[in-house]
Amino acid sequence: MRQVNLALLGAGTVGGGVIQALHRHGPRLAARLGVRFHVAHVAVRDATRARDFALPPGAVVTTDWRAAALAPEVDLVVELMGGTTTAREAAAAVLAAGRPLVTANKALLSAHGAALFALAARHGANLYYEASVAGGIPIIKVLRESLVGNRVTRLFGILNGTCNYILTRMAREGADLAAVLADAQRLGYAEADPTLDLGGFDAQHKAGILASLAHGFWVDAADIHVEGITGITPPDMKFAAQLGYAIKLLGVVKTLEGASARGRMRKAVNGGRITVSVQPTLIPAGHVLASVNDVYNAVFVRGDIVGDTLYYGRGAGRDATASAVLSDLADAALDLKCGVRNRLPAFVAHDRDGAVAPIAEVRSSFYLRLDVVDRPGVLARIAAILARSRIGISSVFQPEGHEGAHVPLILMLHDAPRAAMLRALAQIRRLPSVGGQPALFPVETFG
Amino acid sequence: MRQVNLALLGAGTVGGGVIQALHRHGPRLAARLGVRFHVAHVAVRDATRARDFALPPGAVVTTDWRAAALAPEVDLVVELMGGTTTAREAAAAVLAAGRPLVTANKALLSAHGAALFALAARHGANLYYEASVAGGIPIIKVLRESLVGNRVTRLFGILNGTCNYILTRMAREGADLAAVLADAQRLGYAEADPTLDLGGFDAQHKAGILASLAHGFWVDAADIHVEGITGITPPDMKFAAQLGYAIKLLGVVKTLEGASARGRMRKAVNGGRITVSVQPTLIPAGHVLASVNDVYNAVFVRGDIVGDTLYYGRGAGRDATASAVLSDLADAALDLKCGVRNRLPAFVAHDRDGAVAPIAEVRSSFYLRLDVVDRPGVLARIAAILARSRIGISSVFQPEGHEGAHVPLILMLHDAPRAAMLRALAQIRRLPSVGGQPALFPVETFG
């Protein structure tokens, strides 16, 4: 049986999961693939550090990633260092040497994906990255292979487990964000500095990679509109539930009607314009995405042929990520066994005329929570502004208060372009009875 | 660009979907795959029949499937005839000729899968069958590729869209099965003879294929315990909902602790024993599977590394099935382009010592609905039988009736082996106050 020699760069959380899974399921993988994996080299930052798993017996342990990655007997390199500095250097060196590379590094792909894909193509090396987005959910394979015969018209993702955990507990317990966050940090579900998660930036990286794969052109993170979850309050959760909705941090990729200017000029088949955003979003409580709770992630994909599909699982953590890495190891091993280098290239730019349109053009319904002084005439003035902006009100919800007190005022607003909505909101905020920080969340009806 | 010449055997519902999808997305597929599909031959039963789609221009249309499948210029054959007679003959002829075959035919694989896989291996041909189970849900690829590094410990599938549609409407409307079935037949969601669907036999075929792929030995349909949905009544739906459950027709594949006798003897790594069943099952209303409604299917898979995952989509219908066929066409085309014949063989028997255990050994909680005469002492006698059988009662639910009338009595019963439960039920049914047909459904808590 052919042996595939691995160099693992990094033996932290995910590396440990991969080492443990290879140890546990080595014979199973060999029986299924006809290939035996051997961890030949492990590059670590500190070889003397105590670990909660055993490094593979027979592996050369080194602090020199380059020596591990480029050792002559190595067939396949697995980058699990994380970060975008050394990881980038290592990925580039491996691909430039024509060696296949598996990576679980979302930040690396988000920042340098286009360059790494080009490098891989130039040197006939392949790059596998199932574990980079949504951990144990095989969304990369689904978009690249299973849905290859579809135009993806809608993609909605719950892509950050930390945010979903916090929102789930806020919804269940009526707790406020700071309290749940502190708990999540104690439990290891949130980082000491939670900005990357709570600010929506982690989901932004993932949404960008998924949009790129679905639409066949590289989407820069900078073109993705991002709002995090820190503006969501317990009253928002309560009012949303009363209105029949859940609030989720949703990565959204939508096709817009009409081709891009370049697409039109070149009369391309594709040339589609898309919008990509990450925002707290109200979704109907009965929708399957609303039942995605706790640290789970899910990606809902609508294809023009297949219709609606959904993929659900743990989006992070040692084992879920290790499972995805093993699936890439298997793909890479089969390619090595068959002697094919680019059966499925790392990235196929199948729509060179695609473009990301500004979020301002997106139409949606909205949930708007304002902080108003409870006195006669306030609603009339707000309604007048909305009417002038041609934004219809579908319902108004004002909890009982006493005159003169600050109370929340909830408005559910009909379908309007985001730009018009923001202009109206700016006018509303100038009203003297309106104070505080409003919450404006799109309402997604999956129509 | 390389051209892949197709022979389509069958141009009915699914064939039409494939032809339309290839027409619509031919350029997209070519851009993504670097391969151009050309429908060179279409074999039909009646070439003069009016169709709601255009046969591909330039294709040779014939009633001779053999001439189409074995024409010298054909690279890849797509079997969309359905059935198990001509389809079997055609599949065998194609594989024996060393040609790759794509099939959407679940009944064919269920009945003759093992023989066809052996034939494919013998002649170095490959067999692709993503569309054979759960339509647009890429569950075949998920089990074979994405979860390859896992031992699948649990698999739960909502695998029949007709049943799920009927159960969804019964739950929503309180309607009875016959009325909803008549409606489903009018809408084309149910066949004139609904036995295959409502009896659970369609789900049985699918559960068998999924169990085989997950566990690496061929599971015969005959070893799968099957109960259909015709015993479910509106009161069952209502009581289940009041108790916090939904009722779904669930295909269930579970590993049992302890290896099979052969597995033990040979000290195999695998050698696992599994149970495979299709039954109406109560699941917690908050579980993600409970939100799978209407004609949608879903497969929930627990892997020992990845944890819980779920895959959701339309399980049948022209377009969802066509999408899965296109994904197989893409895989087959990439293999042809790279000149590899069995990169991923059609079926890998990775656990030669696995075995299916009798359902009687499975432990679960149960929902039991009895039809009893409302008189003092009935519950005491039933409770005494259960106590002697060491089956605990977790709750009893008896709607108000008047003494002497027949009323339903609902019992939620603690974890017990199915065999013990059936023995107790047989004794209960001999009580003079117990009449009618009881309903006994397992309760799945996903623990």
- Determine whether domain A139-314 maps to CATH 3.30.360.10: yes
Q: What's the token pair of residue B233? A: 């009544």
Work out the average pLDDT over B260-265.
50
Active site residue A206: yes
Lowest mean pLDDT among A163-177, B247-261, B349-363, B422-436: B247-261
Lowest mean pLDDT among A46-55, B155-164, B240-249: A46-55
For chain A, give every domain's residue range.
2-128, 139-314, 363-443
B193 C-beta neighbours (distance < 10 Å), count: 9
Which residues have CB under 8 Å from A122's CB, separation 6+? none
The active-site residue out of A106, A141, A206, A254 is A206
Provide CATH code, domain B362-443: 3.30.70.260
Instruction: Specify whether the CB–CB gap between B310 and B302 falls below 8 A.
Output: no
Q: Note whether B327 contacts A145, CB cutoff 8 Å.
A: yes
| Rounded-to-integer distance, Cα A95 and Cα B231, Å | 60
Among B446, B390, B383, CA closest to B414: B390
Does the pLDDT at position A260 exceed 70? no
- A84 — contact with chain B (CB < 8 Å)? no
Q: Which CATH architecture has domain B2-128?
A: 3-Layer(aba) Sandwich (3.40)
Q: Note whether B310 contacts A313, CB cutoff 8 Å.
A: yes
Q: What is the pLDDT of residues B74-120, one digit of tens each?
A: 999 999 999 999 999 999 999 999 999 999 999 999 999 999 999 99
| Rounded-to-integer distance, Cα A15 and Cα A28, Å | 19
- B320 — contact with chain A (CB < 8 Å)? yes
Does the pLDDT at position A208 exceed 90? yes
User: Strand A272-284 and strand A296-303: pairing?
Assistant: unpaired
**Residue B112: half-sphere exposure toward Cβ, Cα within 13 Å:** 18
Q: Note whether A319 contacts B326, CB cutoff 8 Å.
A: no
Task: Give the rounded percent of residues in chain B with a pLDDT score beyond 90.
Answer: 89
Q: What is the pLDDT of residues B13-38, one digit of tens each?
A: 999 999 999 999 999 999 999 999 99
- B221 — contact with chain A (CB < 8 Å)? no
User: Strand B127-128 and strand B101-103: pairing?
Assistant: parallel
Q: Which of residues 158-217 of B touch A (CB under 8 A)?
A: 216
Q: Note whether B288 contacts A286, CB cutoff 8 Å.
A: no
Does the pLDDT at position B270 exceed 50? no
Class in CATH terms, B139-314+352-356: alpha beta
Per-residue pLDDT band for B376 (boundaries 50, 70, 90) equals confident
Amino acid at B11: A
- A271 — contact with chain B (CB < 8 Å)? no
Q: Note whether A138 contacts B146, CB cutoff 8 Å.
A: yes
Q: Give the pLDDT of residue A89.
A: 98
Q: Which residues of B touch A141 (CB under 8 A)?
A: 138, 141, 145-146
Q: Which residues of A touch B141 (CB under 8 A)?
A: 138, 141, 145-146
Q: Note whether B323 contacts A288, CB cutoff 8 Å.
A: no
Q: Which residues of A touch B344 (CB under 8 A)?
A: 334
Q: Give the pLDDT of residue A85.
A: 97
Residue spans of alpha helices (H) in A73-231: 86-96, 106-122, 139-141, 161-173, 177-187, 195-198, 201-215
Q: Which residues of A touch B291 (CB under 8 A)?
A: 286-288, 290-291
Does the pLDDT at position A265 exceed 70? no
Element (H, E) at A278: strand A272-284
Test the B interface: residue of A36, A306, A352, A353 with most B CBs within 10 Å: A306
Q: Note whether A307 contacts B319, CB cutoff 8 Å.
A: yes
DSSP 8-class letter at A47 = T
Write the burial class of residue A290 (CB in 10 Å: 0-12 exposed, 13-18 middle, 19+ buried).
Answer: buried
Q: Which CATH architecture has domain A363-443?
A: 2-Layer Sandwich (3.30)
- Closest CA in chain A for residue B311: A311
DSSP 8-class letter at A83 = S
- A228 — contact with chain B (CB < 8 Å)? no
